Amino acid sequence: MGSRVARVSSGSPLARLGQRLKARTARIGVIGLGYVGLPLAVEFAREGFRVTGIDLDERRVAAVNRADSYIPDVPSADLSQFVKDGKLKASSGYTGLGELDAIIICVPTPLRKTREPDISYILGAAQEIVRSLRKGQLVVLESTTYPGTTDEVILPMLESRGLKVGRDFALAFSPERIDPGNAHFSTRTIPKVVGGMTPTCRQLVAELYGAIIVKVVPVSSTKAAEMAKLLENTFRAVNIALVNEIALMCDKLGVDVWEVINAAKTKPFGFMAFYPGPGIGGHCIPSDPMYLAWKARVHGFEARFIELADQTNRFMPHHVVDKIARALNEHRKPLKGSRVLLLGLAYKPDVNDTRDSPAFDVAQELISRGAIVTYHDPCVPQASVNGTMMKSVPLSAASLARIDCAAILTNHSTVDYDLLLRRVPIIVDTRNQYGANRSPRVVRL
């Protein structure tokens, strides 16, 4: 990093940017108005900054501009206040990027079908920034990606027009840590890791986020910040895989895995409880470790823990279908032709996010094996399941009377589980919703 350090005089464009950040007069741009970008834009507006949100989805843009939030963690009342005051506006185009002082990239980073990183959305945003990049701007990447993306991919693009990082413009990486639906931690209260290409970049990005977040955690480089994010989610993926494997083992041994976990977590040190389930979902946990595994392979290193964890977690939907089939068989019913109700398509409770939810893998295998599948999810009114658009069915005594088996895949808090228990003959409970309930109707993971 030493070769990239550039001296910044007190009257330089970057020094003036620092002054605007301190005075809350800097103009902020957020590219990508999803679960990460919109809450971030709202927090900057709350602190008095003028914010422009950019998203190619015109429906999102229109919703923001009419103060209609589509993110559960962002109240429409907040949007209404900031849109009315002129602090927040949205656009579906990149016109005006050159007028912004800080530009934050919050676009998706999915995996390709080959399980390799797809950073095309990042590259698209960076290309738009390059066209209007000027002296005195700060560019921050928040999208989760492999270590080296910022300095190996983004930096050469931004310097291609002759400007120099740390002297003319600033570049940093700060991983998003949003947890949709978490009532205890929000964008403002989750500590923010920041890494800059130079000390000046690090200082400016710390100043930017310090205006809206309670604690900023600087690290030595963008690569360290990128790696920290991947470590966080790889830790979770590997430990979830471990407990999923323990659940598979307990199933073979006839041991209650939930009882085992509850007993183990009474140890006051050296143990952290993780819980099994039908698989892992959301954008981060299934994808982020694979970014790290891919980067390791590029450097000739095999990330064996990550690969094994991925295999175990991706096996769990198949295990759930087998549990359903065995439970039906115990009631002298074949899986083929049985009516199976899936409780929850979202990847976690009380959110409407279905990205990479294992419920879709469960549904696909059930359908391929001849089951008649319906679903109920209070947060997902409709969804494409195995190529067919389905609507969430209401839960009632009449609708449940036709169900042979229900599988709890996501335990939303607003579902009437007592009604389910009374009306459905077989319930496969993958989330331990019923706890130690010994009802013969309930089959736990």
Question: What is the distance in angstroms between the CA of the first residue and the CA of the last residue of the chain?
Answer: 50
Q: Looking at the DSSP assignment, which residues form a beta bridge with residue 91?
A: 54
* 356: amino acid identity, one letter: D
Closest CA to 347 of 119, 232, 181, 217: 181
- In 216-303, where does DSSP find H-type helix? 222-253, 257-264, 284-298
> Measured on CA atoms in the order 31, 37, 42, 48, is the torsion positive or negative?
negative
Q: What is the DSSP letter of 151?
A: I
**Are 243 and 261 in contact, with CB atoms under 8 Å apart?**
yes
- Kind and range of the H or E element at 342? strand 339-343
What are all long-range contacts of 416-423, with beta carbons under 8 Å and residues at least 24 apart? 419/395, 420/343, 420/395, 423/397
What are the CA-CA distances from residue 221 to residues 209, 289, 325 (Å)? 16, 20, 51
Spatial distance between the Cα atoms of 352 and 345, rounded to a whole number of angstroms = 8
Q: Please indicate whether residue 106 is annotated as part of the active site.
A: no
- Count of CA atoms in the C-beta half-sphere (13 A) of 200: 27
Among candidate residues 250, 284, 379, 405, the one labeled active-site is: 284
- Count of CA atoms in the C-beta half-sphere (13 A) of 117: 27
Q: Would you name the residues annotated as active-site residues?
A: 284
